[in-house]
A and B are shown apart, each in its own frame.
Chain A
Amino acid sequence: MKMIEIENLIKYYGQVKAVDGVSFSVEKGEFFAFLGVNGAGKSTTISILCGDLPRTSGKVLVAGKDVDECPAEIRRKIGVVFQASALDRPLSVEENLRNRASLYGITGEKFQKKLKELTALLELEDILRRPVGKLSGGQRRRADIARALVHDPELLILDEPTTGLDPQTRKNVWEILDGIRKVRGTTIFLTTHYMEEAADADHVVILDGGKILANATPLELKNTYTGDFITLYHADEERVKLLKIPFERVGEALRIEVKNTAAATELILAHPELFSDYEITKGKMDDVFLNVTGKKPEGSL
């Protein structure tokens, strides 16, 4: 069953075409990554998806319902984690969750039950009564995710959820999100600047200038838009130069780019004396993004 179906979506802001004939679909329970630089049309598409912005033309269905015809019904199925925390900083985490739950008619005992569940799932016990303004970035993110899950949404939209977080906290947030997906079967719609976060997605769409440039699984994208890399350790650079193929120095090692794994195997077999200590890796999502859009991803280091 399809959770999202978008067909030929067009959105104009005055004379500017922000979204230009975008079509894609997301299956129920899928982890979907929506990539693009700032201004690519991601936020506009999300706003249309949430029924917060009218479209110029095209079809947008969530769980089989048109967003313009049944906005309230669709909003009950959607939870959003915004890039900037939407929590009220002077209020405690519990007050924030209580306020949010009441917007969905979840009050009294129903709320207490939900609070208990979210507290266990997101390890909120220690921060439940603390004002949001006094929490660390990672703690606030957990509270943000809890807020988005308070009404058991079928679709969780994550708009750059880990921007500004340190690597360890990013890892923790992803562990939580993976758990939610596996336990609840929630469909995850992710936009991110960190391309490697999209590497685990079931399905990736790359958007630029309001148009879809690529729509495939991460493996298909890597196979199509990047080559393989052979990283050579303890190799003589002069001898590698004689191969007359492009390479770069990465720390102590040399990295040779080849078309695919078959080409890598062929090269190694032809020059076994050079390849005594090496590894073959696929290209990264950063390389995919760069090759697809010609632009460096904003979150790349």
Chain B
Amino acid sequence: MKTLFSLVSRHCKLYFKDKGVFLPSLIAPLILLFLFIAFLGNVYRDSIRSVLGAFSALVSDGFIEGVAAGWLISSLLAVSAVTIAFSANVVMVQDKADGQAKDIFVSPVPRAIVSVSYFVSTFLVTSLICLVAIAGGFVYIAIAGWHLTFADVLLCILDTLLLVLFGTSLSSIVCHFLHSQGGIAAVETTVSAAYGFLCGAYMPLGNLTAWLRNALMFLPGTYGTGLLHEHLMGAAIESAADSGVPSELIAGMKEGFDCNLSFFGTAVPAWASYLVLLCSIFLLVGIYVLLCTVKFRKKGNVQTR
């Protein structure tokens, strides 16, 4: 256990001390922030007003700002949880590329512990950054217009941690096959650029064509993003009822902003989204364990202390 703790601590230190690893991991969230400030923020505000139509006169600017802020922060967290996990796993690939892995493997530490240490450190680093982002996000939402309940706050943290676990498992599998700096840089860039679109963080799924919307519903990340949208925007949107906005319109808005997802026309309840997320995490972790076991067997020495 001490060895595991020591390896995890080393990987975490390396991530935060190596500017070449830490700073690129913030690219995807920064792109999203930039897009929001540049034009997406106004697009969302206009979109909310257009959905409300004549009822937009009934709601306050605080309502619109609160919904827009909820969308931004939920999208930011959904993207960060996965893209930062890929960046945090750079430590594993760098170790393989620079020879540190070889050095660790000539020590008596079992290979399984080394693999677990990369997984745990990736989860911890990503969780830490996301928890800081959550704290910052809550401050921003409080300034824009706070409508969240205590349950929303807790569920938002749970959703983020589950997405981090999902991102950690996925990135661990991908990074298992990478052995060069070039390889991980290519993967990091691709994931940073594409994941936001693929999980419905940049654009509500409702804005996409039906076939693409249905295709994205096969990706587990979409369900995590949907949960975050619901827990950071749902209460804000529902608060419009206090201003006299009809419940049908509120339900439409929630669907339009991916708070309520549907799979080929069937509504997906929150528990089903959690189930999809959990099953995918178990599956991905299982695949990672299998890959590691096969690799250790090939090396010929799954050792014991």
Contact = CB atoms under 8 A, between A and B. Distances in A.
Q: Contact size class for A?
A: 20 to 34
The main secondary structure of chain A at its interface with chain B is: loop
A50 interface: yes
Given A52-B299, A54-B300, A72-B305, A104 B107 contact: yes
A82 B301 CA distance: 21
Given A52-B106, A90-B18, A105-B2, A84 B98 contact: yes
Interface stretch (A95-103, A115-123, A184-192, A293-301): A95-103
B102 A82 contact: yes
Contacts of B262: none
A88 B107 contact: no
A72 B107 CA distance: 7
B301 A68 contact: yes
Contacts of B207: none
Nearest to A54: B300
Contact of A71 (B2, B98, B102, B303): B303
A95 B14 CA distance: 11
Nearest to B13: A91
Interface of A: 50-54, 68, 71-73, 75-76, 78, 80, 82, 84, 86, 88-91, 95, 99-100, 102-105, 107
Contact of B107 (A53, A54, A68, A103): A103
B102 A52 contact: yes
Nearest to B16: A90
A52 B105 contact: yes
A191 to B, nearest CB: 15
Given A86-B102, A88-B100, A90-B14, A75 B2 contact: no
B301 A54 contact: yes
Sorted nearest first, the 7 A-B pairs with minimum C-beta distance are A54-B300, A86-B103, A102-B6, A90-B17, A72-B108, A103-B107, A75-B108
Given A54-B299, A68-B300, A103-B6, A78 B106 contact: yes
Contacts, number: 76
A283 B110 CA distance: 47
Nearest to B20: A90
A99 B10 contact: yes
Q: Contact size class for B?
A: 20 to 34
Contacts of B300: 53-54, 68
A52 B108 CA distance: 11
B299 A53 contact: yes
Nearest to B91: A88
Contacts of A71: 108, 301, 303
Nearest to B100: A86
Nearest to A107: B2
A91 B299 contact: no
Contacts of B106: 50-52, 75, 78, 80
Contacts of A75: 106-108
B215 interface: no
A53 B105 CA distance: 11
Given A86-B100, A86-B102, A99-B10, 13 more contacts: A50-B105, A51-B106, A52-B299, A54-B301, A73-B108, A84-B99, A86-B103, A90-B18, A95-B13, A99-B6, A103-B3, A105-B2, A105-B3
A13 to B, nearest CB: 12
Contacts of A95: 13
A82 B6 contact: no
B194 to A, nearest CB: 29
A59 to B, nearest CB: 15
A31 B233 CA distance: 71
B304 A72 contact: yes
A86 B299 CA distance: 21
A88 B303 contact: no
Contacts of B290: none
Contact of A103 (B13, B109, B304): B109
